[in-house]
Amino acid sequence: MDLRVALIGYGTGGSVFHAPLISSVPGMRLAAVVTGDAERRRAVRERYPDTEVVDGPDRLWGSARAYDLVVVAAPNRWHVPLARTALTSGLPVVVDKPVAASTADARSLAALSAVRGLPVFPFHNRRWDGDYRTAQHLITSGTLGDIRRFESRFERWRPKVTESWKESADPRDAGGVLFDLGTHLIDQAVALFGRPTTVYAEIDTRRPAGTSPDDVFVALAHRGGVRSHLWTSATAARPGPRLRVLGSRAAYTVTGMDAQEERLRGGLTPADAGYGAVPAESYGVIGTPGDERPEPTLPGAYHDFYAAVARALTGDAPPPVTLADAITGLEVVEAAARSAAEGTVIDLTS
């Protein structure tokens, strides 16, 4: 029997990412979508005619036995309250990033997860970017030698501030680029090299009408000598390389963004041919000066996150992303905020 999934939220996260990915995974069924917006309700009915449309999350909790998994894709301030209610209703939950607006809230969610014996899966889908998957393979296989520096960027040119909770200065909204794309960058570094020992950050609001951070640099030191340098910005008139990994034998560099988001926005899904494929002209480069070659990029595979969730729920399989990793990521976010405010390097070893 298919896992019956209830999705809360049908904004960009729900409509572009979660719904198409869930619907593309064998063994999962998008059973319900929760949205109170009339236009979004029509959009759900048009694209997913067999999916129930629910006007509020309270309707879910009264019929919790009708579902096997809840996905929270509501605005950030509702992540923890909705996830807690899902757990107390007896349902495992996927929570979009950031899992919480603070480490304390994320830890409280982890405690409830342990008490209820139900998993919380943080949605860090960028672990399944094609370029990141390729870098991960090159790192773990030893192809690059001993890794010395990992550089990762999500930079965009969006000089105008839009009206959105993502631009909010209210801490409960977890707005700004550090919580948005920055949490993905941090998660990628943590997944590769573990919890950092120190954190240094520069956090700025560059746009005149901005009220939340829109230009961020974070430097992490990891045990073993690896350093991660991470950039995220809405004010980059010319983005730098998406990834640059420097090793003792060779380097790997790739430019341009993973195409999965663009394809999902265009209506493609992982069920469509070529969804995650990367053309040869977009391959990264591996080697040293004078001895470089294109490195084929592994296909992007966001749907593998949900396939792994299904395995974790129906069999003896580990979660695709652990809540512990998400908590570490939030510790880094908070350390970065403190570092930028104080102009200091923050020690995370204690």
Q: What is the pTM of this model?
A: 0.96
Q: Name residues whose C-beta falls within 8 Å of residue 56's C-beta, 6 or more positions apart in sequence.
A: 34, 36
Query: What letter would DSSP give residue 61?
Result: H
AA identity, residue 258: D
Whether the CB-CB separation of 125 and 211 falls below 8 Å is answered with no
Q: How many distinct helices (H) and strands (E) make up the chain?
A: 11, 15
Of all residues in the chain, the percent with pLDDT exceeding 90 is 96
Model confidence pLDDT, tens digit, residues 284-332: 999 999 999 999 999 999 999 999 999 999 988 999 999 999 999 999 9
Spans of all domains in the chain: 3-123, 126-302+331-347
Model confidence pLDDT, tens digit, residues 166-210: 889 899 999 999 999 999 999 999 999 999 999 999 999 999 999
Architecture of domain 3-123: 3-Layer(aba) Sandwich (3.40)
Q: Name residues whose C-beta falls within 8 Å of residue 32's C-beta, 6 or more positions apart in sequence.
A: 4, 5, 6, 7, 51, 52, 53, 54, 60, 66, 67
Strand, coil or helix: 122:
strand
- Judge if 3-123 and 126-302+331-347 fold alike in CATH terms: no
The superfamily in CATH containing domain 126-302+331-347 is: Dihydrodipicolinate Reductase; domain 2 (3.30.360.10)
